[in-house]
Amino acid sequence: MRDLDTDPGPIDRDTAWGAKRSALEVVFSQPRSAARDAAFAQFRADQGKGLEDFALWCALVDHYDGAEWPEEAQDPASPLVAQLRRELADQVDFWCWLQWIADEQLAHAQEQATGGGMRIGVMHDLAVGVHPFGADRWAQRGALAAGVGVGAPPDMYNQQGQNWSQPPWNPLELERLGYAPYRDMLRGVLRHSGGLRVDHILGLFRMWWVPEGTTPDQGTYVRFDHEALVGILCLEAQRAGALVVGEDLGTVEPWIRDYLADRGVLGTSVLWFEKTDDGAPARPRTTGPRPSRASRRTTCRRPPGTSRASTSSCATAWGCSRSPSKRSGVTRAASARRWCGR
């Protein structure tokens, strides 16, 4: 492990986790005081079924050790899973304990941040979706749609569209469940935080569904009850005393940003995308059309800001971010200079 500390190559996460897990299992095996035991029991009681199902899924991953799960194990309500819940109780305890320790550390980090003078403190991030074979998909079989992934339609940055291979919420089942899975998810992510960034907040209004076996450009929009989803988001943020920043980039219907702003949800402003009415780059200190927003220089899907320092870097980025074109080298260079603001 020590040799890996200075290895410039990719992080060997499996080796690192194996070492960490061995140490954590030693700590877990040590007797706890009565007070610590009571605190752990209270945490499990507070978190309820969501925590227990997640811990059981982790134990099942260990149990099957890379082998294909039997069909009955795919259903959390099956007799086989009930039997394994009893047989793997010690492992379930371990995974619940890990979540408790992580929760305590998050609480401590937020306490230290706000105690040190930070107004917001820790700001959490709510991803656009979950892994198609992860714990959420296993535990929320009905609430998440099957046979589709979410993504984005073709646009000027990606002419082929995008498929993120993440199952979307099933809007009909979510409504039938009274939005309980969505509400519980928000309560979990808002614990010990002063703010929440919601990735692709447009997904609370509509999502680009891509059926399995098709390409992203063959997808279609599916609309959601945004009044319910945004309302629950704002309610839970209010209860947690946290602000909300919505990542509202991409293909956005004009009214959506106004709708979110009216409900106190901040938007996202990217330096390179902000333009004046005549198309010129907006000056950093101007408020523009959206004064209530969080500003940033670039995004994870765009070239790094430093790549804009030279026209050659911009030309490379311009070429990599677009499909093959018949444009001449002169045209590409000119486009790159405009892209760099030169």
CB 85 within 8 A of CB 92: yes
Q: Quick one: tokens of 178?
A: 């009274």
What would the mean pLDDT of 64-91 be, rounded to a whole number? 97
Nearest residue to 138 via CA among 200, 192, 206, 84:
84
To the nearest whole percent, how much of the chain has pLDDT over 70? 81
Q: How many CA atoms lie within 13 A of 5 on its CB side?
A: 3
- Only one residue has tokens 């979540």, namely 99
More confident of the two residues 30 and 285: 30
Nearest residue to 288 via CA among 273, 276, 300, 297:
276
Q: Quick one: tokens of 117?
A: 């003078």
What are the CA-CA distances from residue 103 to residues 108, 182, 257 (Å)? 9, 20, 33
Phi, psi of 206, deg, nearest 5? -160, 155
What tens digit of pLDDT does each residue of 198-252 get? 999 999 999 999 999 999 999 999 999 999 999 999 999 999 999 999 988 777 8
Chain mean pLDDT for the chain: 86
What are the CA-CA distances from residue 248 to residues 76, 125, 186, 256 (Å)? 35, 14, 18, 9
**Chain-centre distance of CA 192, in angstroms?**
17
pTM above 0.75, yes or no: yes
Domain ranges of the chain: 31-119, 120-302, 303-342
Q: How many CA atoms lie within 13 A of 104 on its CB side?
A: 12
CA pair distance 105, 111, nearest whole angstrom = 10
